[in-house]
Structure 1
Amino acid sequence: MGEISIKINIADRVYPLKVDMEEEEIVRRAAKLINDRIKEYQENYAVRDKQDLLSMSVLHYATATLRAEKKMSEDGTEVADKVYQLDQMLSDFFSK
């Protein structure tokens, strides 16, 4: 569609961005998730430094992303194994 200019607030700092129109909602939701995580860490831990809170948030989301990628890879391998088994069964059936 086209790029638009938006401003995103993360940890009380404003970041001007250019994003595709269809990505705007995702970017805004991501910023909200980050700010919510920062707020949670502020309330539950004795951390006040924004840099530390941002680092903890990044670690949280990077870990979640890697966990999801690993699961997708494992699921993909499992599906490939099932397809191979099904193919073998069909080959055996039709070769009789």
Structure 2
Amino acid sequence: MKSIKITILGKQYPLKVEESEEESMQRIAGYVDDKFRQYKKELNKQPDTTIMTLAALSIAEELFEERKRNRELNQQEDKVLQNVNESLENFIEEIRE
């Protein structure tokens, strides 16, 4: 494990991550920081806890939408593969006749 520091809204947080995950975690932290700053700019009179909560909900919504899209794509892929398999089976049957 490797110790790193990430910065979100100007505050540093120490984390322990696998070396292979360091770059990814830095990108994730940057994304979270950007989202928090965006909300802070839009809601500058709100306390940081409110801003962080709303930003976290927004990030979670993005995650859920991506998961939904991923499921839909997997379902479409399954249908396409099923059609290809059926077509191949039909083709093989025609050849055998």
Give the TM-score normalised by structure 2.
0.87
The match for 1:60 is 58
Contact 1:41–1:47 (8 Å) recurs in 2: no
Which digits, 9 at most, give the CA deviation of each residue in 1:4-40, with x for residues without a partner?
1112222333221110111111111111111111111
Structure possessing the higher radius of gyration over alpha carbons: 2
Range with greater deviation from structure 2 (37-46 or 17-26)? 37-46
The match for 2:6 is 8
Range with greater deviation from structure 2 (36-45 or 74-83)? 36-45
Aligned-residue offset at 1:65: 0.7
Give unpaired runs (5+ residues) of structure 1.
none
- Paired residue total: 94
Give 1:44's aligned amino acid. Answer: E
| Alignment partners' CA distance in 2, 1:73 and 1:95 | 33
Contact 1:37–1:57 (8 Å) recurs in 2: yes
Query: Which residue of 32, 35, 51 corresponds with 2:33?
Result: 35
Q: CA RMSD in A?
A: 1.4
Give unpaired runs (5+ residues) of structure 2.
none
| Alignment partners' CA distance in 1, 2:85 and 2:73 | 18
